[in-house]
């Protein structure tokens, strides 16, 4: 990933001298550790701040020996440690929270992760109100609306700076297609829209170079339930961490490329979106052009076929309920 971007790094060498502090909240976890490593390898990151309720200084000491230019610091699990980790951050990635075990849905994580994300969002709103916030913690369909409500309550909500990380869904889709078609995944650009759980994940194969795949129900299901495949294989030891770290690092890299002046940087992400607002759905994942201010342009869904139309219909019902649940949680549990 970073090899490919090395050319771009040179092309933007002047702006790449910008200072880009990136903070990871949940840095000692299954995702947090490899994500921190990948961010340390990214030449666009000049300062890496690692925070967790346990173990961040140790992870930071380890990662800090990697011989790239950036400075790494691990922070103590105190309110002032959290505030210092966040201060001046351009990008904040949040993989804090519990992962699934076999038999659970992402929504089953809500009771634990909603308050974790709410409290971290409060800290972000106070110490890094202008940062790009990248929410990885599940259920993303609900945790992103939770963040939005917290920021709104503090009068600092900027819809262009809040992102649910759905990159892993397109990473999987391109890989799964390449397995079937015996192609290089780099060439398989698959659009995936909706949300990030089960039927809310909608791959749009009709828009790819293999439109026939939209009627491949097994493939559609594999993309929708790719996370379950990993949860089952890990057999109680958690969910996707390595592929997720790659996907999160890619999303952070894309935001930094866009903020440093690169044009036409497009990633799928779950954002405050006009696409289905008329149906009461405030957040939706689609292709989004990124820019120096975060969201530059939300691209239209484009033409879909009859199968995909039905998938989108099913997605919207669940997604609406997930978003509502996140909003209601903050209204009923505003916390301190």
Ligand X SMILES: NC(=O)c1ccc[n+]([C@@H]2O[C@H](COP(=O)([O-])OP(=O)(O)OC[C@H]3O[C@@H](n4cnc5c(N)ncnc54)[C@H](O)[C@@H]3O)[C@@H](O)[C@H]2O)c1
Ligand Y SMILES: O=C(O)C[C@H](O)C(=O)O
| Residue 30 to residues 40, 117, 231, 303, Cα–Cα distance (Å) | 16, 17, 13, 38
> For residue 287, what is the DSSP state?
E
Residue of 21, 73, 100, 222 that binds ligand Y (CB under 6 A): 100
Q: Among residues 40, 44, 122, 196, which one is catalytic? A: 196
Q: Does residue 164 belong to the site contacting ligand Y (CB under 6 A)?
A: no
Q: Which residues touch 20 (CB under 8 Å, ≥6 apart)?
A: 44, 45, 46, 47, 90, 91, 256, 259, 260
Reference 106, options 222, 14, 199, 10; nearest CA is: 199
Which residues of the chain form beta strands (DSSP E)? 21-25, 47-51, 71-75, 91-94, 132-135, 162-164, 192-194, 201-203, 265-272, 283-291, 294-298
Q: Is the CB of 54 or the CB of 182 nearer to ligand X?
A: 54
To ligand Y, the closest distance from the beta carbon of 225 in angstroms equals 8
Minimal CB distance to ligand X: which residue?
A: 29
Whether 210 sits among the annotated catalytic residues: the reply is no
Binding mask 5-44 for ligand Y (x = CB under 6 A): ----------------------------------------
Q: Collapse the DSSP code of 333 into the 3-class scheme (helix H, G, I; strand E, B; otherwise coil) and give the result.
A: coil
Q: Is the CB of 49 or the CB of 116 nearer to ligand X?
A: 116
Strands 283-291 and 265-272: antiparallel
Q: Does residue 200 belong to the site contacting ligand Y (CB under 6 A)?
A: no
d(CA 164, CA 294): 13
Q: Is the CB of 241 or the CB of 260 nearer to ligand X?
A: 241
Task: Give the residue ranges of the annotated binding site.
Answer: 26-32, 52, 100, 106, 113, 136-138, 172, 244
Partner interacting with residue 24 (select from ligand X, ligand Y, none; CB below 5-8 Å by kind): none
Binding mask 214-253 for ligand Y (x = CB under 6 A): -------------x--xx-------xx-------------
To ligand Y, the closest distance from the beta carbon of 239 in angstroms equals 4
To ligand X, the closest distance from the beta carbon of 326 in angstroms equals 14
d(CA 195, CA 212): 23
Q: Does residue 166 belong to the site contacting ligand Y (CB under 6 A)?
A: no
Reference 64, options 83, 85, 39; nearest CA is: 39
Task: Give residues in contact with ligand Y (CB under 6 A).
Answer: 99-100, 106, 138, 168, 227, 230-231, 239-240
Residues annotated as part of the active site: 196
């Amino acid at each position: 990933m970073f090899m490919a971007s090395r050319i771009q790094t040179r092309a933007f060498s002047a702006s790449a001298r910008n200072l880009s502090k990136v903070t990871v909240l949940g840095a000692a976890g299954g995702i947090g550790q490899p994500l921190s490593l990948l961010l340390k390898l990214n030449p666009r990151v000049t300062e890496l701040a690692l925070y967790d309720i346990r173990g961040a200084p140790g992870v930071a000491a380890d990662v800090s020996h990697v011989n790239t230019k950036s400075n790494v610091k691990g922070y103590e699990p105190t309110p002032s440690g959290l505030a210092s980790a966040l201060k001046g951050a351009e990008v904040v990635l949040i993989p804090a929270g519990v992962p699934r075990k076999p038999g659970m849905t992402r929504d089953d994580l809500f009771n634990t992760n909603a308050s974790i994300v709410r409290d971290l969002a409060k800290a972000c709103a106070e110490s890094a109100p202008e940062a790009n916030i990248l929410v990885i913690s599940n259920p993303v369909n609900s945790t992103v609306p939770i963040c939005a409500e917290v920021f709104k309550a503090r009068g600092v909500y900027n819809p262009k700076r809040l992102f649910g990380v759905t990159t892993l869904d397109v990473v999987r889709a391109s890989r799964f297609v390449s397995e079937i078609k015996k192609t290089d995944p780099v060439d398989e650009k698959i659009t995936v829209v909706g949300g990030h759980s089960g039927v809310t994940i909608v791959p749009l194969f009709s828009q790819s170079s293999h439109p026939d795949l939209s009627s491949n129900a097994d493939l559609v299901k594999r993309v929708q339930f790719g996370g379950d495949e990993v949860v089952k294989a890990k057999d109680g030891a958690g969910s996707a961490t390595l592929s997720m770290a790659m996907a999160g690092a890619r999303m952070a890299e894309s935001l930094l490329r866009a903020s440093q002046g690169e044009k036409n940087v497009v990633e799928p992400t779950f954002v405050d979106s006009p696409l289905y607002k008329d149906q009461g759905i405030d957040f939706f994942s689609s292709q989004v052009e990124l820019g120096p201010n975060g969201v530059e342009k939300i691209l239209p869904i484009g033409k879909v076929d009859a199968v995909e139309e039905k998938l989108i219909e099913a997605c919207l019902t669940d997604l609406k309920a997930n978003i509502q649940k996140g909003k209601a949680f903050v209204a009923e549990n505003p916390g301190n």
